[in-house]
Amino acid sequence: MPSAQPLPPTPTRLPRADRIQNFRPSVFTETRELAERHGAIDLGQGAPGLSAPRALLDDAMAAIAEGHNQYPPAAGLPELRRAIADSRLRRSGIRYDADREVVVTAGATEAVTAALLALCNPGDEVLTLDPCYDAYEAAASLAGARLVAVPLATEGDRFCLDEAALRAAVTPRTRLLLLNSPHNPTGKAFTAAELAAVARVCLDHELTAVTDEVYEHLVYDGAGHHSLASVPDMRERTLVVSSAGKTFNVTGWKVGWACGPDRLVGAVLSVKQFLTFASGTPFQLAVARMLGDEEEAWTAELRSTLQRHRDLLRTGLEQAGLRTYRCEGGYFLQADVRGVGYLDGARFCRDLPARAGVAAIPCSAFRHGPQNPHTDRLVRFSFCKPADVVREATSRLTGKWRA
Ligand code: PMP
Ligand code: GLN
């Protein structure tokens, strides 16, 4: 029987911890809502509109039907840990012990968050590059640490590392360096020379590195992926994070992982066991099979498809009057809005859905540091969508500002 008593009044001031005071609904959610309101094509969130490999989907469904539906070990299914270690050995020449040096996580997000929680004390500083993926600041904040983001420099149409600025940002409180390559949101893929420079900073200051390599298979124009862990002397101080989401177009599965020396992987595991313990048994099994059998062929095909979509988007944006930055990897292109009469990317993104029926995200949404005149006029467009969607989006943009 329902109680006749009135509901207690809702407290107006519910407590909220200091460490989440700055947490707001993510820019991806906001942009999606804005796009829906205006019936706009959403080139904001990096959510793939391309299909996943058929065999991967069939394997997951078979795994569910066969009853693989209970908790996996906290570190992840041994089949998947072995497949991850084999894949890294094949592609980067680095050997990881599947039992002690690989941990499966609920997406790369959990790996990064668990790493910061496991490795930082309150007051420590985490060095990264600006702009950066939004989860980094949140993860640092949950750990009580401070994110220190060093602006990427720009040279012509490309972003580049400023080694001197990175070095100058190191303090006695710097605990670790968090590097993302290929980089979200700029589309930069760090070169071997730039990684050597990052490694020098880490080695000189005895920093641990966490590298977010979720777009590792998506480096374009024939330039291969370089991992910081491959630089001499870096394997032993680097935790490499990646994920199946972007590699196989299954971002909703949230199968990620971290590889590194057992000291680092063990620390991540000790935290992640209390965040999620474990997740996604049938998905882990399916990803294990895919990494073993078909990874190379699938990723080569995906890379060439996305490179074509990048080129379609770039040509379309340029025709619409937006000058683009070079995209060397990942899902995103940055475009400068000054060519269409705007000075500020955020302003442009507010107007864009109503004006052109397209949604995108201002680069400033990923800025951690103070206002930056170079990057605040940029807007991030994602091209991980079917070719006709990219074409339609750019045709909607064309002619909107140059009547
Ligand atoms: N790191 C970067 C740089 C990203 O762009 C994303 C978004 N996919 C993630 C991590 C999150 O990865 P996952 O979905 O595997 O948690
Ligand atoms: N990584 C995706 C992006 O940058 C979004 C992930 C998310 O929605 N949290 O667009």
Nearest residue by C-alpha to atom 5 in ligand 1 = 184
Q: Mapping DSSP to helix (H, G, I), strand (E, B) and coil, where does residue 80 land?
A: helix
Nearest to 68 by CA among 252, 255, 256, 280: 280
User: How far apart are alpha carbons 388 and 261 in whole angstroms?
Assistant: 44
Q: Which positions ≥6 away from 250 have C-beta within 8 Å?
A: 52, 56, 244, 283
Please give the pLDDT value at position 11: 66
Tokens 């990646």 locate to: 242
Nearest to 239 by CA among 88, 125, 134: 88
Residue pLDDT, tens place only, 95-125: 999 999 999 999 999 999 999 999 999 999 9
In 320-383, which ranges are continuous DSSP H helix? 345-356
Question: Angle of helix 281-293 relative to helix 295-319, nearest 10 degrees?
Answer: 90
Confidence of residue 402 (pLDDT cuts 50, 70, 90): low
Contact 115/264 with Cβ under 8 angstroms? yes
User: How far apart are alpha carbons 343 and 352 in whole angstroms?
Assistant: 14
Nearest to 282 by CA among 59, 23, 11: 59
Alpha-carbon dihedral 383, 47, 194, 338, rounded to 10 degrees: 50
User: How far apart are alpha carbons 379 and 396 in whole angstroms?
Assistant: 16
Mean pLDDT, residues 128-142? 97
Residue pLDDT, tens place only, 286-337: 999 999 878 999 999 999 999 999 999 999 999 999 999 999 999 999 999 9
* Distance (Å) from CA 44 to ligand 2 centroid: 9
User: How far apart are alpha carbons 315 and 128 in whole angstroms?
Assistant: 31
Mean pLDDT, residues 167-172? 98
Ligand 2 site-directed mutation target among 109, 184, 247, 254, most atoms within 8 Å of CB: 184
Residue pLDDT, tens place only, 7-46: 776 666 778 898 998 898 889 999 999 999 999 999 999 9
Ligand nearest to the CA of 136: 1
Contact 144/119 with Cβ under 8 angstroms? no
Count CB-CB contacts under 10 A for residue 1.
3
Residue pLDDT, tens place only, 240-274: 999 999 999 999 999 999 999 999 999 999 999 99
Please tell me which residue, 5 or 392, carries the higher pLDDT value: 392
User: How far apart are alpha carbons 158 and 332 in whole angstroms?
Assistant: 13
* Distance (Å) from CA 321 to ligand 1 centroid: 30
Nearest residue by C-alpha to atom 15 in ligand 1 = 107
Please give the pLDDT value at position 403: 43
Ligand nearest to the CA of 184: 1
Q: What ligand 1 atom has the least distance to the C-alpha of 180?
A: 3
Q: What ligand 2 atom has the least distance to the C-alpha of 361?
A: 10
Q: What ligand 1 atom has the least distance to the C-alpha of 110?
A: 16
pTM of the shown model: 0.95
Q: What ligand 1 atom has the least distance to the C-alpha of 251?
A: 14
What is the Cα gyration radius of the chain? 22
Please give the pLDDT value at position 72: 98
Q: 254-292 burial by CB neighbour count: b if 16+ within 10 A, else e?
A: bbbbbbbbeebbebbbebbeeeeebbbbbbbbbbbbbbe
